[in-house]
Amino acid sequence: MALPYYVSPEQMMADKAEYAKKGIAKGRSIVAMECADGVLLVADNPSASLHKISEMYDRIAFAGAGKYNEFEMLRKAGIRHADLKGYTYSREDVAAKSLANAYSQTIGSIFSADPKPLEVELLVVEVGQAEKPNELYRISFDGSIIDERGVAVIGGKSEALMTFLKSRWTSTSISLREALRLSVDALDTVTNQKLGAEVLEVAVLDRTRPGRTFRRIASGEARVLLNSP
């Protein structure tokens, strides 16, 4: 048996990172934004049935960018993790921090141990109860985890989006409509086209709702929000 060529760990990791980045760069982007009503999630997604944004638990939502089968598998594992925890202890014990950590561990160990890294970027967001602040976690393909404030972006054009939004997003007190318009403006800019409501997937973690706060905003409602003066 021939010995495999020696590849330095640095080179191996750099190659894997480049591979994963390339895969993610091909995909479309997702924006999460804090607003007065809670946390808004907007994805550039032409499919009406294959979702990128999903409910995870009472106050927690998930968004995945990159390879669909990979983030879909992670989404399901996360829902199981959350439901198991809520069933074993109590609904209030399910927290985004623990979920984000579990994702970080899983994705990180796959990145270092498996020959092919996951080509995904994830968002795990939690809307705060009463006066508590919201939590936005971004998890990268290598398992690194970033605690964002105000705005979080994943997917192909995330850097350009972040630059655009950083200067324009002002405070958590902006309304849902303003947040939606700002997110769509940002997505329009990086894609160089006018995105209609029918190619957007929009959902909100509504701070005021009791119990399960996740609510999808159908394209009809999104259109009204975008077009009303």
Span 158-187, contacts to another protein by CB under 8 A: none
* CB of 34 or CB of 126, closer to another protein: 126
Indicate which single residue of 32, 40, 41, 56 sits in contact with another protein (rule: CB under 8 A): 56
Residue 113, φ and ψ in degrees, nearest 5: -100, -40
Alpha carbon 153 to its chain's center: 7
Count Cβ neighbours within 10 Å for each residue of 82-97 and write b for 16 or more, e otherwise. beebeeeeeeeebbbe
Q: Does 105 bind another protein (CB under 8 A)?
A: no
Size of the residue set binding another protein (CB under 8 A)? 18
Span 28-47, contacts to another protein by CB under 8 A: none
* CB of 80 or CB of 166, closer to another protein: 80
DSSP code string of 144-195: -EEEESSEEEESTTHHHHHHHHHHH---TTS-HHHHHHHHHHHHHHHHTS--
Name the residue among 207, 227, 220 with its Cα closest to residue 61: 207
Q: Which stretch binds another protein (CB under 8 A): 51-59, 119-127, 191-199, 201-209?
A: 51-59
Count Cβ neighbours within 10 Å for each residue of 167-192 and write b for 16 or more, e otherwise. eebeebebebebbbebbbebbeebbe
Least distance CB 36 / another protein (angstroms):
26
Indicate which single residue of 29, 54, 140, 158 sits in contact with another protein (rule: CB under 8 A): 54
* CB of 85 or CB of 138, closer to another protein: 85
Contact letters for another protein, residues 59-98 (x by CB under 8 A): --------------x--xx-xx--xx-xx-----------
Q: Does 106 bind another protein (CB under 8 A)?
A: yes
* CB of 49 or CB of 173, closer to another protein: 49
- Which chain residues interact with another protein by CB under 8 A? 49, 51, 54-56, 73, 76-77, 79-80, 83-84, 86-87, 106, 110, 114, 212
